[in-house]
Amino acid sequence: MNIVHFTDTYHPLINGVTMAVEQYTEKASENNNVLVFAPSYSVFSKETKQGRVTKKYVRSIPFPIYPGVHAALPNLVGMYRMLKKFKPDIIHIHSPFVLGILGVIFSQILGVRLVGTYHTLFSMGSMYLSPKRLLPGAKLDSATESEHTVLAQIAWKLQLIFFNICDSVIAPTKIIATTLKKQGIKSPVVVLPSGVSLEQYPVKTDFSPTNKLIHLGRLGYEKATDTLLRALSIVQKELPKLELILVGDGPAKDYLKKLTKELNLQKKVVFVGMVPNKETPRYYSSCDAFVTASPFETQGLVLIEAMLSGLPVIAASVNAPIDLITPGKNGFLFQEGDIEGCAQYIRTLYKNPDTIKTMGLSARAFAEQFDSTKTSDKLLAHYRSLLKAQRA
């Protein structure tokens, strides 16, 4: 097969979309040709080729509404010629922005099967879509509830137009598949999670408490990381040695640093910043548990990485964590925005240190089903089924 991926986020930006595209590309290229269109994060385009993988980095400029994301400025004629020469069998889109939209358009022009993965709950990031966002001194978290509701509805309507053109829509978890169908997605929805390399995350052997919790991911307002800081503030008297390690970067970083100071947690919170993906295993292995308050996760690959690293997960009970966590077995779930609930489960985890090991081992056993080799094979099989149906 000749497979094309269109993604509006890619290296050097590290997130779930980047990791998924990289994983699919690596596995598929063993027996197929792969072409990736992604932003270059500069005003210059470039092209690389390694083995059976060609990557076209399209010139781009910063996207003012969503910090860290770039909007591609493609050469449409050049892209069309490149696609005609490549002769794609499958076009796979990963975002409903510039390159994703072009993926849809080219699939229709060329008569190629179109697959779309629903990676991101854009409706929950409505603070980035508010017109207020462009005003000087505007705060991303300042939109009213009614504004959030209206913007979320608009986001869904736009997404429905985009994904209903697809021959199939991939949802990473069952709960996201249900959400898509409720919102009005008419295209066939298939649950196919992205995976993680088991080799990258060796089995943990030392479960001695380190008194460190870790949160790894984008520091965006939508991730509600401030809930973790407030929970830490509540438990610090009972657990004076406890630290929170924040790995990642994003638009809420300055706000979180300010809140850390206000809560007098400067010595309890470590802002590591962005780290290469190959270095994340050592950060996970140095901690006792993974914590997140994000309501934004469609799959939460970082949760799976943490579980493979032998860490229990304490998470908000919304979207992906509901499908991944069995409370009391491989982690705990607290209600979205419940600071005291988050704090209580941190207490519970450390009340009996043996819990860290038993839940960590259970987490590892559960997460092994997300082996990237198996999940990538399932995606390739899905491609073949679409092509078979097209020929029938």
Sheet bearing 33-39, strands edge to edge: 46-50, 53-58, 33-39, 2-6, 90-93, 113-117, 168-171, 189-191
How distant, in Å, are the alpha carbons of 245, 290, 311, 346 from that of 207? 17, 14, 9, 16
d(CA 13, CA 21): 12
d(CA 106, CA 93): 11
pLDDT in the model for residue 134: 47
pLDDT in the model for residue 277: 86
Helix runs in the chain, H state only:
16-28, 76-86, 98-110, 145-163, 174-183, 226-235, 253-262, 280-285, 301-308, 320-324, 339-351, 354-367, 372-391
d(CA 180, CA 186): 9
Given a contact cutoff of 8 angstroms between Cβ atoms, the answer to whether 25 and 86 are in contact is: no
Q: Which two tokens stand for residue 289?
A: 């548990």
d(CA 388, CA 392): 6
Given a contact cutoff of 8 angstroms between Cβ atoms, the answer to whether 274 and 241 are in contact is: no
Kindly report the CATH class assigned to 198-370: alpha beta
Q: Residue 142: phi, psi to the nearest 5?
A: -100, -5
Helix (H) or strand (E) holding 352: none
Sequence spans of domains, the chain = 2-195+371-391, 198-370
- The pTM score is 0.84
Nearest Cα to Cα of residue 356 among 310, 318, 387, 324: 310
How distant, in Å, are the alpha carbons of 23, 91, 163 from that of 100? 18, 10, 10
Q: What is the DSSP string of 50-81?
A: ETTEEEEEE-EEE-TTSTT-EEE---HHHHHH
Helix (H) or strand (E) holding 288: none
d(CA 285, CA 201): 9
Domains 2-195+371-391 and 198-370 share a fold: yes
SS3 223: helix
- Angle made by CA atoms 261, 313, 177, in degrees to the nearest 5: 110
Given a contact cutoff of 8 angstroms between Cβ atoms, the answer to whether 192 and 266 are in contact is: no
Kindly report the CATH class assigned to 2-195+371-391: alpha beta
pLDDT in the model for residue 28: 95
Q: Which two tokens stand for residue 3?
A: 């497979």
Measure CA 128 to chain center.
17
Per-residue pLDDT of the chain (392 residues; tens, 9 = 90+): 999 999 999 988 878 899 899 989 999 999 999 999 999 999 999 999 999 999 999 999 998 766 668 999 999 999 999 999 999 999 999 999 999 999 999 999 999 999 999 987 765 555 555 555 444 444 445 445 555 566 667 777 888 889 999 999 999 989 999 999 999 999 999 999 999 999 999 888 999 999 999 999 989 888 999 999 999 999 999 999 999 999 999 889 999 999 999 999 999 999 999 998 889 999 999 999 999 999 888 888 999 999 999 999 999 999 889 999 999 999 999 999 999 999 999 999 999 889 999 999 999 999 999 999 999 999 999 999 999 988 76
Given a contact cutoff of 8 angstroms between Cβ atoms, the answer to whether 162 and 96 are in contact is: yes
